Amino acid sequence: MQVATLDPRLNVKIVGGLSQLCPPDVMRGEEVQIAGFLRQRPDFNGLLLLPGTHSKHVWIKDQQVQSFATHMTGEVFAILKQHSILRHSVGGDTEDQAAFADGVRAGASGQGLAQLFSIRAMGLVSKNTPDAAQSRLSGLLIGAELAQVPQGTSVVLIGAGKLTDLYLQATEITGQHAEALDGADLVLAGLTQLNFMRQ
């Protein structure tokens, strides 16, 4: 949307975000990356998955967003780590790949919420390092999110760094396989694309 300005040298546009009535959902920001992606890959049909505090699942068909869904995976991870009883168990910053994989498998099979307490209990009745606990928690929640993606879907992850890498690992574990694209590149492509649009 073009914005009127007092100074004619300024060309200001607002990207309006997306909202969806059924099921209710909202997006603000990620649509720029999606526009960038569609510019680069106009023939793509499938799922764009943008990991984050509020992870977005965006279904694309015929160069359009068909529907989208927000998953609070990153936020649930953070508040469980900081505020729940799991805070006594979870910590560290080294990934424990076996614990992560166990978590992903359990989460993907519908045990994401059900097995949260096992992270605490493992530390009480057997051995559990803070790294393993954190990786297991991360795996449970990412696995639960991926349980919402049908097998055989074309999945493109948009993001960067450690979090996107965890999602990439998780899709390998669940057999969903994905490719990952850099989010920053797509922001630039999206802003360029949107600047050339009429409205």
Q: How far apart are CA 121 and CA 178, in angstroms?
A: 33
Q: By CB under 8 A, tell whether 80 contacts a copy of itself.
A: yes
In the structure encoding, which two tokens stand for residue 26, read together? Answer: 């909202």
Selected binder of a copy of itself within 2, 12, 13, 19 (CB under 8 A): 19
Selected binder of a copy of itself within 26, 98, 184, 197 (CB under 8 A): 26
Specify the residue, 114 or 188, whose C-beta has the smaller distance to a copy of itself: 114
Q: By CB under 8 A, tell whether 16 contacts a copy of itself.
A: no
Helix ranges, 45-108 (H): 73-83, 97-106
Q: What is the secondary structure of 155-168 as a DSSP string?
A: EEEEE-HHHHHHHH
Q: By CB under 8 A, tell whether 72 contacts a copy of itself.
A: yes
Residues 134-153 that bind a copy of itself (CB under 8 A): 141, 144-145, 147-148
In the structure encoding, which two tokens stand for residue 128, read together? Answer: 């559990």
Q: How many CB atoms lie within 10 A of CB 84?
A: 17
Q: How far apart are CA 25 and CA 190, in angstroms?
A: 21
Selected binder of a copy of itself within 41, 54, 168, 182 (CB under 8 A): 54
Interacting residues with a copy of itself (CB under 8 A): 19-21, 23-26, 54, 69-73, 75-76, 79-80, 82-85, 110, 112-118, 121-122, 124-126, 141, 144-145, 147-148
